[in-house]
Amino acid sequence: MPTKNTSIKPWHLNSSEIVGDFKIFKVRSDNRTSPRTGKKRNFYVIESVDWCNVIAITKDDELVMVEQYRQGTSLIELELPGGMIDPGEIPVETAPRELREETGYSGESPEFVGLVYANPAIMNNKVHTFVIRNSKLKHKTEFDEGEDLAIRLVPIKNIPKLISNGTISHSLMIAALSLFSNSNNKTD
User: What was the pLDDT predicted at 4?
Assistant: 80
Residues 112/179, Cβ–Cβ less than 8 Å: no
**Cα–Cα distance for residue pair 106/58, rounded to 1 Å:** 10
pLDDT per residue as tens, the chain (188 positions): 667 878 899 999 999 999 999 988 999 999 999 999 999 999 999 999 999 999 999 999 999 999 999 999 999 999 999 999 999 999 999 999 999 999 999 999 999 999 999 999 999 999 999 999 999 999 999 988 888 899 999 999 999 999 999 999 999 999 999 999 988 876 54
The whole-number pLDDT of residue 147 equals 85
CATH 3.90.79.10 fits 51-184, yes or no: yes
* CA atoms within 13 A of residue 37's CA, in its CB half-sphere: 6
Phi, psi of 93 (to 5 degrees): -85, -35
Instruction: Please give the model's pTM, rounded to 2 decimal places.
Output: 0.91
Rounded to a whole number of angstroms, the distance between the first and last alpha carbons of the chain is: 20
pLDDT the model gives residue 1 = 65
Task: Give the per-residue pLDDT at 186.
Answer: 64
Are 154 and 163 in contact by the 8 Å Cβ rule? The answer is no
Which residues have a Cβ under 8 Å from the Cβ of 95 and sit 6 or more positions away?
52, 54, 82, 110, 128, 130, 132
Sheet strands (E) in the chain = 12-21, 26-33, 40-47, 51-57, 62-70, 75-79, 82-84, 105-106, 111-117, 126-132, 136-137, 149-155
State residue 184's pLDDT score: 81
C-alpha closest to that of 162 among 150, 174, 151, 179: 174
The alpha helices in 5-158, defined as continuous H runs, are: 91-103
Please give the pLDDT value at position 6.
80
Would you state the pLDDT for residue 166?
Answer: 96
Name the residue ranges covered by the structural domains of the chain: 12-47, 51-184
